[in-house]
Structure 1
Amino acid sequence: MRRGGFTLIEVIIAIAILSILASMAVPYAAKLIDKSREESTRKEMEELYNTILGDPKVPTGGTVGDMGRLPNSITELNVQGAQPLGSTGLLGVKFGWFGPYVNTGFDPQGYLNDAWGTPYAYGNPGAGQIRSAGPDRVMGNADDLIYPPNAVTFTGRLLVNLYVWDNTAGQYRQNPTPAQVTGMGVTYFYSNNGNQTSVSITVPPTGVGPPYSFNGYHAGLHAVTGTCQLVGSPAAATGQAVVYVPGNNQQAQLGLYLR
């Protein structure tokens, strides 16, 4: 009759089975951890990118919209340094540094590192790109994560169409011709290294518009003003608006109504 308990052979076999299962489970668990860290890192890189270039879904201008340029480093998102302190310009559009831009929670330096604890490389391999060294923690290998996939162009283009109120006709007139006006102009406000600056198109210039194009200025929120006096009108019609211009050489359009 067999007594209760296990024989030595049974214990050895059980230990061997557990060892085999453990040897199989550890690499699988490590892969799950790396997968979770990769997802977390990709999400954070995208959030950092939207903080820099802005998010057209909101829309917000990001640091590019506030400063008029790409940051020199990720640190500039939360450290003002020599950047001019933010102020509010025409129509509430922001200019200058309005950081900190990243909510760091309990770790004020956490946004500088990926989920493996390795510092991000910024502007690598191209302008505005953020690079993580990935699971092997060595920059430049095949497991590196890069966002966005292509170098960033922080400028875009705005096309403005003017709609001028005609008191005589009782309706708006779209893009009056030079012969129909005594004077007309469009002014576009942008940030130059954190300082509000503007550029104007006066009509009628030779070979310009309509629509009137502002090309090569930074992405973000912009104030636009216009003025136009139709022939025979006693006073000029005026108008103003805020428009979001995307980066990466994308184009936005604005219908500016003057009355």
Structure 2
Amino acid sequence: METLGALQAQDLAAFHAQHYGPQGMILVVVGNVEAAQALDVIRDKLGDWQNPQQPAQPTLPAVATPQKPTYTSVAMPGKSQADIILGVLGPERKSADFVAASLLNSILGQFGMMGRIGAVIREEHGMAYYAYSRIEGGYGPGAWKVIAGVAPQNVETAIELAKDEIRRITEEMVSEEDLADNQSYFTGHLPLQLESNEGIATRLLLMESYDLGLDYLINYHDMIYSITREDLLEVARRYWGGEGYVVAIAGPNGHDG
């Protein structure tokens, strides 16, 4: 809050002048417009845009994977709920195993009522307001994490239940049914994402930003169905097989882990 309060309008203008420019920009146009017409408008509005101050796209430094569990806790007096995040470094978006990791993440904590994590922590034990997992890949490794909101007295138990499910995906192949259900979900959900101009534009931007290739959507069905149970076990062990996970807790009481 102190940092935000100290910002002035000229600070924002200076940041914009230095960092915003046409270099590396990707512009996607989807809708009832001819390509030539769209290009004419773009050239008219942006054709002379230059910014010599704009820095080159930085090379992201390598991120070291923690070698042992790390716990961080923030006490927030007055809060009735404790929020937990347990995570590891996941793949980059353009990594060859990102799609397999995403499919496994769906099984772990997304599909149906939030996958295995939701089934165990929320449904079987009734101790979570919400419980799911999420994978985030960008130009560098993203977080692959389990997220849960629980009553403060259930923090330790919820963490152990989550770790049990994570351990399970690193030790056992998922069932053929789980794999088939999630493959069907991934391929069936894609057409829904492409029903709007915004959805198509978002996918095109993703494909261009991460060099996935303009045939990415054409090959998507075969890509999903080429993933095997063995692939999912391998990707689980690659990212979740060690002890280098991080646990962050925010709630009314501090937790030492």
Normalization by structure 1: what TM-score?
A: 0.23
The structure with higher relative contact order (CA 8 Å, sep 6+) is 2
Instruction: Give TM-score scaled by structure 2 length.
Output: 0.23
Question: Max radius of gyration: which structure?
Answer: 1
